[in-house]
Amino acid sequence: MPRILVVDDEIHIRMLYARELEDEGYDVAVAATPEEALRALRVSRPDLVVLDIELEDSNGLDLLNRIRQEFRDLFVVINSAYSTYKADFQTWLADAYIMKSSDLKPLKEKVRQLLTEGACDRTI
Amino acid sequence: MIAVDYAARTEARREGGFLDYTLSNQVGLFVVDTEGRLRNVNNRAAAIFGFSDSPDADGRPVSQLEFFFSQAVIERLLRLLSDGEPFTVSCFPGTNLAGHFAYYRLSCNRAEENGRAIGVFGVIEDVSEQARQQQELRSRVDELSTLAQISQVVSSALDTEEVLKVILIGVTARQGLGFNRAFLFLLDDDGKILSGRLAIGPTNAEEAGKIWSSLEHDNRSLSEILSLYQEESERSNRNLTDLIRGTRIDISNGSLFAQAMKNQTPIVVEYDTELDYVTDRILHRLGEKRVAMTPLVSRGKPIGLLVVDNAITRKEITDHDRQFLKLIADQTAAAVERSYLYRDLKDRARELEEINRKLAETQNQIIEAEKMSVIGEITSAVAHELRNPLTIIGGFAHLMYKNLEPGSPDGEYLNIIVSETQRAEAVVTDVLDFSRASKTRDRLLDLNSLVRTALEMLKVRLGQGQCQIQLTTEPFELPLWGNPDQLMHALYQVFWSLIQDLPCEVPRINTFAQDGTVRLEVAFARDGGHQDKVDKVLKQYFCGGSSSKRLSLIVAEETLKHHGGSLTVESNHADGPVLLVLLPLYKEKLNAQNSGG
């Protein structure tokens, strides 16, 4: 069963995503901070990370950098309320950039695509 | 009448030496006896009257002197015998028996003896020289008066044209120098080229007669002459000015014009003066070879040249004329230069005014831009804060909906929560797009390109083949200045709103330029059968208050207003009600297009 780590400082987002992704058949772990996320990455070695950028007191892009240094083959989907970060070249390190929405279909579709079809070109 | 023995009296006085005196005096003396005959006419008086000598005049009746005295003077002289009132005629013209014309002075007193009139004693003098001197004096006074008036008028005149006109009229007015015509050439800013600027005077004798007779009046002030001149001689002045307008003389070419400027001295050109080619051509054009040229010199620098002639009367230009002309030129050159300074000052003031206006405009734009920026930042922050809760609410509602038992009554409510959340998310997306657009810099844009891009985006959102909008654009650019993202977003929202609210209609978009604006009209097919719906929707957009409008349309309207444009509905259009987008035409670009063919 593919493992997914959801990194978001909003507890209800974490709850929602965990539930939706579990319903899709994934093993889901959640983290509220970069530290928690790194710990989870080292322990549970997930296949994909859903990463928010605006984290409380920290920046998801810094975490993305760390992930790319330590876990090169890990898929990362940026999931942000801000479209402006699309222009930030740091986000190009991720495999996908999906805007936050109550309609989780695009996110789930991208996760499925990455995990089944492998790494593909980053889609904005 | 009492008879007097004049022969006896003459004899008596001869002994006293009186006759010796009367005969030898340079003043003409005569006596008229009680019978009105000339007696004791001395040689000078005889010569004045034109008699060969004193005896020739003796005994002639005064009434026969009508060739010399007017009838009124003769009557007055004879009446003096009875009324005893002495009189003097200061200066009168007369022609004597010999045909000599001169001006004379006559004084008469009654001669009495023991209170009884014995005759009239008269003194006659040739005052031609004094009259000539008086005339000369009057001319000089007139000239000085003209000069004073010119100085007075030009000292208060600041407009260059007015100053120049005053100078030329002062030079040509009969009360002043009375030249027939005057031409003014002024040096350009580089001090190299003398250009024909203004001329005053009649173009022919007939015009001269008409103009001069209308101005003929001894006591007219220069101001009166100025206004009369403008009425009477505007056409001829214009014709004369046309003669020199366009004439450009290089003051380094050695012509007489150039010499007068270089040496700063007046030059009188006579008929027999040998002329250089340039001077010859210009004087030929003016139609008169005898002219006086006087440079206008201000603070040691020549600024122009005054050329005068007597082309109509052919009167000689005297040394005195030349000197007086120089006096006027010297007096007025400073005024001309002052008018230049005033003109420059006015231009500078106008430039400053324009700069201030642009500065105020720019300040307003900055304030507006800052306002927009602040609005953008606030809306962006609010929108981002809203996106997470909306994601959570909509997401959980969707989750609950999925897990509901089929047929559960809560399904409908959850569905409502999901769709309304998605609508709110769409608003948030619009607002975020707008706030992002506000960060882009303004630049030159083409309305046609903006419309095409907005429609392309619409096609992407609707799917190819779903976008039914018909577009007709001008074959050339419709330039405007603005924020490309904001304007494109505004147009996109207008189109999107129309498609959302009028899904059965096929909008026809037409772009064009008119009255300093670039325009976009959105009309609807008249045979669409939904005219009422179109009317209702458009009315709702603009008459229903902001609460009934889509938020995105409010933002679009504000964006257009921010760019100096508008979003309105024209209900009386030939094609039915049309939505009209107006934006200011960027003129510099249009001018460049036109000049480039």
3-state secondary structure B108-136: EEEEEECCEEEEEEEEEEECHHHHHHHHH
- Give the closest-approach CA distance of A7 to chain B in angstroms: 14
Distance CA B214, CA B233 (A): 10
| Identity of residue B62 | V
- Give the closest-approach CA distance of A20 to chain B in angstroms: 7
Q: What is the pLDDT of residues A4-13, one digit of tens each?
A: 999 999 999 9
Domain-wise residue ranges, chain B:
6-126, 133-345, 442-595
Q: Are A109 and A90 in contact (CB under 8 A)?
A: no
**Cβ-based contacts of B432 with chain A (< 8 Å):** 83
Q: ipTM of this predicted complex?
A: 0.85
Only one residue has tokens 């200011």, namely B584
| CB–CB contact A16 B393 (8 Å) | no
The region that residue B301 occupies, defined by phi over 0 for left and psi between -120 and 50 for alpha, beta otherwise, is beta
Measured between CA atoms, the residue of chain A closest to residue B397 is: A102
Measured between CA atoms, the residue of chain B closest to residue A85 is: B436
| CB–CB contact B384 A82 (8 Å) | yes
Is residue A69 one of the residues assigned to a domain?
A: yes
Contact residues for A44 (Cβ-Cβ < 8 A; gap 6+): A3, A5, A29
| CB–CB contact A102 B399 (8 Å) | no
For residue B246, what pLDDT is reported? 83
The secondary structure of chain B in percent helix, strand, coil, rounded to multiples of 5, reads 55, 20, 25
B275 CB-contact burial (10 Å; exposed 0-12 / middle 13-18 / buried 19+): middle
**Cβ-based contacts of B400 with chain A (< 8 Å):** none
Is residue A124 one of the residues assigned to a domain?
A: no
Measured between CA atoms, the residue of chain B closest to residue A87 is: B436
A83: nearest CB among B395, B396, B432 = B432
Among residues B150, B189, B187, B194, the alpha carbon closest in space to that of B169 is found at B150
Phi, psi of A103 (to 5 degrees): -90, 105
Q: Are B282 and B250 in contact (CB under 8 A)?
A: no
Write a three-state SS string for B251-308: CCCCCHHHHHHHHCCCEEECCCCCCCHHHHHHHHHHCCCCEEEEEEEECCEEEEEEEE
B567 CB-contact burial (10 Å; exposed 0-12 / middle 13-18 / buried 19+): buried
Within its chain, how far is the Cα of B29 from the centroid?
A: 65
Helix (H) or strand (E) holding A48: strand A48-51
Q: What is the pTM of this model?
A: 0.45
For residue A123, what pLDDT is reported? 39
- Give the closest-approach CA distance of A102 to chain B in angstroms: 4
Give the range of the structural domain holding residue A34, as residue numbers without chain letter. Answer: 3-117
Handedness of CA B372, B374, B378, B383 (dihedral sign): positive
Q: What is the pLDDT of residues A57-66, one digit of tens each?
A: 888 999 998 9
Homologous superfamily in CATH for domain B6-126? PAS domain (3.30.450.20)
For residue B177, what pLDDT is reported? 64
Homologous superfamily in CATH for domain B442-595? Histidine kinase-like ATPase, C-terminal domain (3.30.565.10)
Mutate to test the interface with A, among B391, B418, B419, B423 (most CBs of A within 10 A): B391
Is residue A123 one of the residues assigned to a domain?
A: no
Q: Are B307 and B293 in contact (CB under 8 A)?
A: yes
**Cβ-based contacts of B384 with chain A (< 8 Å):** 54, 81-82
| CB–CB contact A103 B398 (8 Å) | yes
Is residue A85 one of the residues assigned to a domain?
A: yes
Measured between CA atoms, the residue of chain A closest to residue B426 is: A101
Torsion of CA B557, B558, B561, B567, to 10 degrees: 10
**Cβ-based contacts of B399 with chain A (< 8 Å):** 16, 19-20, 23
| CB–CB contact B422 A103 (8 Å) | yes
User: What CATH number did the domain enclosing A111 receive?
Assistant: 3.40.50.2300
Distance CA A83, CA B428 (A): 12
Domains identified in chain A, total number: 1
Is residue A122 one of the residues assigned to a domain?
A: no
Contact residues for B362 (Cβ-Cβ < 8 A; gap 6+): none
A102: nearest CB among B384, B422, B432 = B422
Across chain A, mean pLDDT equals: 88
Is residue A100 one of the residues assigned to a domain?
A: yes
For residue B86, what pLDDT is reported? 93
Distance CA B297, CA B268 (A): 17
Given a cut of 50, the residues of chain B with pLDDT beneath it are: 1-19, 22-23, 546-548, 596-597
Q: What is the pLDDT of residues A68-107, one digit of tens each?
A: 888 888 999 999 988 778 777 788 889 999 999 999 999 9
What's the CATH code, domain B133-345? Answer: 3.30.450.40
Is residue A54 one of the residues assigned to a domain?
A: yes
Q: Do domains B6-126 and B133-345 have the same CATH topology?
A: yes
- Give the closest-approach CA distance of A101 to chain B in angstroms: 5
Tokens of B512: 């064009």
| CB–CB contact B388 A10 (8 Å) | yes
Give the 3-state secondary structure of residue B378: helix
> What is the number of other CB atoms lying within 10 angstroms of the CB of residue B546?
9
**Cβ-based contacts of A16 with chain B (< 8 Å):** 391-392, 395-396, 399
Strand A27-31 to A3-7 pairing: parallel
Tokens of B37: 């005959």
Q: Are B387 and B379 in contact (CB under 8 A)?
A: no
Mutate to test the interface with B, among A10, A12, A101, A108 (most CBs of B within 10 A): A101
Within its chain, how far is the Cα of A65 from the centroid?
A: 13
Q: What is the pLDDT of residues B34-64, one digit of tens each?
A: 999 999 999 899 999 999 888 999 999 999 8
Among residues B567, B578, B577, the alpha carbon closest in space to that of B491 is found at B567
The region that residue B548 occupies, defined by phi over 0 for left and psi between -120 and 50 for alpha, beta otherwise, is alpha
For residue B146, what pLDDT is reported? 74
Phi, psi of B186 (to 5 degrees): -120, 145
A104: nearest CB among B395, B421, B425 = B395
